[in-house]
Structure 1
């Protein structure tokens, strides 16, 4: 049987779905937490690594 406890990920996803149904409750719209909300910690780390490497490549080649 499934445990009656709800984990934090399920709670966050439920709140996010409710907010998507009623977008006027969201003051700022989408943000970084929406982007990485569905990612695992590894995917989030890879995304940050790609962003940092992109800035480094830009700084080296376009200055």
Structure 2
């Protein structure tokens, strides 16, 4: 019953916490290899689709503004 009402974000966080409890040195390995462990995936997962859309929009606007200044 609990599994059905659990949001995907909460489920990911719960699984992440269980993995940390089972394998404490895995977190240290992830910290050393953060670039290969998917930092962007964590960001997008925590923002949701609206936040991701806004982030992409702001990046595009920033690139356009920067292109005006550097041309």
Scaled to the shorter chain, the TM-score interval is 0.5 to 0.7
Greater share of helix: 2
Gaps of 5+ in 2: none
TM-score of the pair, normalised by structure 1: 0.65
Gaps of 5+ in 1: none
**Which structure ranks higher in relative contact order (CA pairs < 8 Å, sequence separation ≥ 6)?**
2
Write out the 4+ residue segments of structure 1 that deviate beyond 6 Å after TM superposition.
Answer: none
TM-score of the pair, normalised by structure 2: 0.60
* Count of equivalent residues: 61
RMSD: 2.7
